[in-house]
Structure 1
Amino acid sequence: MSGYPQVQSLEAHLHLRPGFDVLVMEALREFLLLAKIGVRLRLELQRTVLSTNYGTFRKLQNGRSVDP
């Protein structure tokens, strides 16, 4: 049990309803999986933007025109 009263009351409530805690844990697992996927997508997007910006920077630095 956690040291926080809200969590303790939630845990007590979940234990009063058999099977409900299993559903909550499955939902939490799904949520965390989606969050993990979201973080990976965001990192991939940042990496793409950074590499695109770096490529544009290098072209400008070398005096070449940059296509729109």
Structure 2
Amino acid sequence: MEFVPIKGVRFDCRFNTGEKALELLEKLIEYYKNENAKFLLMREYLRLSSLEDFDISICGADP
């Protein structure tokens, strides 16, 4: 493994990118699937969140 200085890239974008990022995303999705989370497309979320009688929250927070 070789370490190369990175310049001009935000600090938080320097780690867990590429294959590692995809692996972590897969683990995160699997976790929420096991918690019976409902997954929506962004356009579905925007449509539903604009309805007054629809109760929607993300991680327990109100929209």
Same fold (TM over 0.5): no
Shorter-chain TM-score category?
A: 0.3 to 0.5
The alignment's TM-score, normalised by the length of structure 1, stands at: 0.33
Q: Which has the larger radius of gyration?
A: 1
Structure showing greater relative contact order (alpha-carbon pairs closer than 8 Å, 6 or more residues apart): 2
TM-score by length of 2: 0.35
